[in-house]
Amino acid sequence: MPDSHRKTVTIINNETGQREEFPIIGGTRGPAGVDIRQLYQKMGMFTYDPGFKSTASCSSEITFIDGEKGVLQYRGYPVEQLAEHTCYLEVCYLLLNGELPTETEFGHFHNMITTHSMVNEGLKDFIRGFRYDAHPMAILVGVVGALSSFYHDSLDIHDLRHQEISAHRLIAKMPTIAAAAYKYSLGQPIVYPSNDLCYSENFLTMMFSSPTQRYEVNPLHARVLDLLFLLHADHEQNASTSTVRLAGSSLANPFAAVSAGIGALWGPAHGGANEAVVRMLEEIGDVKRIPEFVARAKDRNDPFRLNGFGHRVYKNYDPRARLVRDAAHDLLEQSKTSDPIFEIALRLEEIALEDDYFVSKKLYPNVDFYSGIIYREIGIPLNMFTVLFAVARTVGWIAQWREMIQDPERVIGRPRQVYKGPEHKDYTPTEERGFHANCQRVCPGRPTAKWSRS
Ligand code: ACO
């Protein structure tokens, strides 16, 4: 067979002349992968790819992104179609099970999520252990990890039924925990979930009602929030999902793995961007000051970046950002309100997308450039923005975790490194480093102890 017909890649070590062939693994869409699992055995070298810029860490059937064209699909369905025709819970079913549900299947799933939204009463004491002013993300990381201590009846990670129960528990309980974290920060009693409300209505009610104040859910708010949940539901191998997979690859339980993912989501380069965007827009304060901030974002000596701009995968408009921007427009129009920071955001986008720096680097608004405008209009406080992202992404994390656990090619995730530290050093005795002979800080007896038998 001529070389050009073989589905392999040949790597040549130009120093030694060694040539080795590696198979190409094709997917259904998107770039193929070179299977370099045998690279170290064959050539005694690792690949070097900090940040996984060219490395596929797994194969997956869940979400597809074409970053050049701005395409996002869940299980093959374009996100725009799902946003138009379905709701978040239907998308949860799709992500978990691979196909849209029939009415019976959806009824069963809906019932399952709705009736598992209450958390164990003991969890309230756990939440009370946090400082009154703790960031709700700090509470979420801790409490979700602690779920494994409450629900250890179904933690056999190899049991398909246990996997499903944990998935349902996480999706059902996450809004309850998130709202409880908020209520705790206000010093108000935690509000119980209601089985007769839909997912987003229930969340809003737990956030904003109190024993003394009835809360009428604004249907428009519930609908827009549901859309935001749907658009954040999964995004293939991003930093938090990869963290969930990596933590889970050690066979840790799903609550511990998802808690690790929440930690990874928190940073402003990832899910924390929604909070950072609004802080940035508030700081800009006036469209007149936009050029000043754009100049700072372009200055290599200034660590400031335009929050909500740029993406590792999208080199085109993030399709979610367009939908969120349109939803923000609709929401403000229908509520007959205006938000000065929305005006600043729209103008900032215009200016940046005409600027050669952003155009040449293909930096476009990402999903979180406009999501904060919606959260603000609904009345969600700033420190809850990333928590809402975590609530929505839980289904993606758990779907990806299940796929990883069930993957026959699964192994523990364990990256290698190119070591650049000292080659070898012999121990320098304390007296040669200026210690007093009778210094009590060094372990007593250590200078005379002999641990090595050789
Ligand atoms: N503002 C100004 N310059 C930027 C921005 C930005 N927001 N984003 C990237 N750049 C520049 C970088 O300085 C770099 O320039 P250089 O090539 O001259 O060094 C170039 O664009 C490429 O950026 P990288 O950081 O190498 O791209 P990477 O893929 O590693 O980072 C990231 C992607 C983290 C999202 C980045 O664009 C960023 O920090 N954006 C702002 C934070 C943000 O919005 N995060 C949310 C992402 S979406 C999500 O997680 C939900």
Residue 294: which CATH number? 1.10.230.10
Question: Which member of 66, 270, 329, 330 is catalytic?
Answer: 270
In a domain, 440, yes or no: no
196 is catalytic: no
- Is the pLDDT score of 447 beyond 80? no
Per-residue model confidence (pLDDT) at position 82: 98
Q: Which domain holds residue 357?
A: 273-378
Per-residue model confidence (pLDDT) at position 338: 87
Helix (H) or strand (E) holding 454: none
24: which strand partners?
Answer: 34
Q: Tell me how far apart the alpha carbons of residues 144 and 398 are, in angstroms, rounded to a whole number.
A: 13
In a domain, 444, yes or no: no
Residue range 163-176, pLDDT digits in tens? 999 999 999 999 99
Per-residue model confidence (pLDDT) at position 431: 86
Sign for the CA dihedral angle at 34, 257, 228, 386 comes to: negative
Residues 232 and 314 occupy one common structural domain: no
**What number is the average pLDDT over the span 33-57?**
97
Question: Which member of 232, 311, 318, 339 is catalytic?
Answer: 311
153 is catalytic: no
In a domain, 243, yes or no: yes
Residue range 259-280, pLDDT digits in tens? 999 999 999 999 999 999 999 9
Residue of 72, 231, 312 with the most ligand 1 atoms within 8 Å of its CB, for mutation: 312
**Percent of the chain residues past pLDDT 70, beyond the cut:** 96
Q: Tell me how far apart the alpha carbons of residues 184 and 189 are, in angstroms, rounded to a whole number.
A: 7
Residues 313 and 247 occupy one common structural domain: no
In a domain, 414, yes or no: no
**What number is the average pLDDT over the span 354-368?**
95
- The answer to whether the CB of 286 falls within 8 A of the CB of 390 is no
Residues 228 and 284 occupy one common structural domain: no
- The answer to whether the CB of 62 falls within 8 A of the CB of 399 is yes
Instruction: Tell me how far the alpha carbon of residue 67 lies from the centroid of ligand 1, in angstroms.
Output: 14
Residue range 309-343, pLDDT digits in tens? 999 999 999 999 999 999 999 999 988 888 899 99
- Is the pLDDT score of 449 beyond 60? no
Cα 407 to its chain centre, rounded Å, is 21
Return the higher-pLDDT residue of 89 and 154.
89
Closest CA to ligand 1's atom 24? 312
Residues 177 and 305 occupy one common structural domain: no
CATH number where 13 lies: 2.20.28.60
Q: How many domains are contained in the chain?
A: 3
**Percent of the chain residues past pLDDT 90, beyond the cut:** 89
- Is the pLDDT score of 446 beyond 60? no
In a domain, 407, yes or no: no
In a domain, 10, yes or no: yes
Residues 255 and 300 occupy one common structural domain: no
Per-residue model confidence (pLDDT) at position 336: 86
Indicate the residue among 252, 268, 284 that finishes a domain.
268
Residue range 115-136, pLDDT digits in tens? 999 999 998 899 999 998 899 9
Residues 41 and 86 occupy one common structural domain: no
Sign for the CA dihedral angle at 320, 362, 267, 418 comes to: positive
Residue bearing tokens 């198979």: 23
- The answer to whether the CB of 263 falls within 8 A of the CB of 143 is no
Indicate the residue among 240, 268, 296 that finishes a domain.
268
**What number is the average pLDDT over the span 99-113?**
97
Closest among 93, 123, 118, 91 to 105, alpha carbons compared: 93
In a domain, 146, yes or no: yes
Q: Tell me how far apart the alpha carbons of residues 28 and 161 are, in angstroms, rounded to a whole number.
A: 29
Helix (H) or strand (E) holding 25: strand 19-25
Ligand 1 pocket by Cβ (under 6 Å): 51, 238, 269-271, 273, 297, 305-312, 361, 363, 366-368
Query: What percent helix, strand, coil does the chain show, rounded to 5?
Result: 50, 5, 40
- Is the pLDDT score of 422 beyond 80? yes
Residues 323 and 206 occupy one common structural domain: no
**What number is the average pLDDT over the span 391-408?**
98
Per-residue model confidence (pLDDT) at position 438: 77
**What number is the average pLDDT over the span 237-259?**
98
Residues 227 and 196 occupy one common structural domain: yes
Residues 103 and 216 occupy one common structural domain: yes
Helix (H) or strand (E) holding 173: helix 160-186
85 is catalytic: no
Q: Give the β-pairing of 71-74 and 33-34.
A: unpaired
Residue range 53-67, pLDDT digits in tens? 999 999 999 999 999
Per-residue model confidence (pLDDT) at position 430: 86
Sign for the CA dihedral angle at 327, 283, 235, 404 comes to: negative
What is the pLDDT of the chain when averaged over all its residues?
A: 94
Return the higher-pLDDT residue of 132 and 285.
285
Residues 224 and 324 occupy one common structural domain: no
In a domain, 93, yes or no: yes
Closest among 147, 144, 400 to 249, alpha carbons compared: 400
Per-residue model confidence (pLDDT) at position 335: 86
Per-residue model confidence (pLDDT) at position 1: 61
Indicate the residue among 357, 378, 399 that finishes a domain.
378
- The answer to whether the CB of 366 falls within 8 A of the CB of 273 is yes
Residues 184 and 242 occupy one common structural domain: yes
Residues 255 and 314 occupy one common structural domain: no
Per-residue model confidence (pLDDT) at position 75: 98
